[in-house]
Amino acid sequence: MSHLALAAVSFAHQAAPGSPVPKGKACPPRPILDNADLSVPRGAFVLLTGPSGAGKSTLLRLFCRLEEPQTGQVLLDGQPVDTLPPAQLRRRVSYLQQTPAVIPGSVRENLLLPFSFKAASGQERPDDAALTALMDSLAAGDIPLDQEASTLSVGQRQRLCLARALLTRPEALLLDEPTSALDPESAAAVLGAAESFCLDQGGTVILVSHAEFAPARVTPVPYVLSGGQLRAGRLP
């Protein structure tokens, strides 16, 4: 059975309710996905490419219900995602935004943020040693846990955000151009962690990438999204 799947999914951005439609421009919205099918087995590493604005981010957002398809079904382990409690779904399928977002506070407070929500009640909070070990695995062990997160560089923030996502113990990672604004060292750390998540922990990864991606350990399954059509691609 597929771990993540799309079944005949169509999606187009809708105008917000009440927003004015300019005269003569009431044409139907451009489809981002047109009757798309996708089947990603558990533990696969999918590399999704396509031109800018093709809807690669939207496809990732469909899996964690940040977008809703107009038709078709988005499935997790064969179950429609809209039948799962949203908080539970988003902890199982973790979406990492392209621009890393942090809250005011220390690196520690940011890492422990997922444990402050009701969905994490009863879960044990990792101690400082565990947090440092995790940051170390992302080549960010030199960042003090007491440091204010807002003072970190973009690359350090992205690694912090990935570490935070991994702390929720997801089954799948959806990475939205995670290295687009990173220096080579940070990019290598982030992609290395994604490969490790896939190979060592059996997690599923969908990586959206604009830039050329040279995997060190995994053999990605390539897909291309263009003009509303999702099709198998070729590795460079």
Partner 1 sequence: MSPGVLDIDLWRLSLALVFSLLAGGCSIALKLGLGRDILIGTVRTIAQLFLMGWVLGIVFAVESPWLVLGLFLAMAGAAAHTARGRVHESAVHFAWPMYASMAAVYLVVTVTVTGAIVHAEPWWKPQYFLPIGGMVLGNSMNSVALALDRLFSDLRARAAVVEMRLCLGADAAEASADVLRTAVRAGMIPSINSMMAVGLVSIPGMMTGQILGGSDPSQAIRYQIVVMLMIVGATALGSTLLTLIIRRRCFGPGDRPLLR
Give CA–CA dist 28/21, Å, rounded: 11
Shortest distance, position 117 Cβ to partner 1, whole Å: 5
Shortest Cβ 38–partner 1 spacing (Å): 20
| CB 216, min distance to partner 1, A | 26
Spatial separation of the C-alpha atoms in residues 206 and 63, rounded to whole Å: 10
Q: Which is nearer to partner 1, 56 or 91 (CB)?
A: 91
Question: For residues 30 and 232, what is the distance between their CA atoms, to the nearest angstrom?
Answer: 22
Is the CB of 86 or the CB of 144 nearer to partner 1? 86
Distance between CA atoms of residues 181 and 179, nearest Å: 6
Nearer to partner 1, 206 or 218 (CB): 206
Smallest distance from the beta carbon of 158 to partner 1, in angstroms?
12
Q: Are 170 and 94 in contact (CB under 8 A)?
A: yes
Are 107 and 149 in contact by the 8 Å Cβ rule? The answer is: yes
Q: Which pairing describes strands 45-49 and 71-76: parallel, antiparallel, or unpaired?
A: unpaired
Nearer to partner 1, 94 or 186 (CB): 94
- Least separation, in Å, of the C-beta of 236 and partner 1? 30
Distance between CA atoms of residues 221 and 38, nearest Å: 12
Q: Which is nearer to partner 1, 174 or 182 (CB)?
A: 174
Helix axes 154-167, 184-201, angle to 10 degrees: 10
* CB-facing half-sphere around the CA of 79: CA atoms within 13 A: 9
| Minimum gap (Å) between residue 207 Cβ and partner 1 | 16
**Interface contacts to partner 1, rule CB under 8 A:** 16-20, 64-68, 81-82, 86-91, 94-97, 99, 101, 103, 113-114, 116-120, 161, 164-165, 168
Closer Cβ to partner 1, 67 or 177, answer by number: 67
Return the amino acid letter for 16. Answer: A
Work out how close the CB of 235 gets to partner 1 at its nearest, in angstroms, rounded to a whole number: 29
Is 118 exposed, middle or buried, given 0-12, 13-18 or 19+ CB atoms closer than 10 A?
Answer: exposed
Residue type, 147: Q
Helix (H) and strand (E) counts for the chain?
A: 6, 10
Nearer to partner 1, 87 or 211 (CB): 87
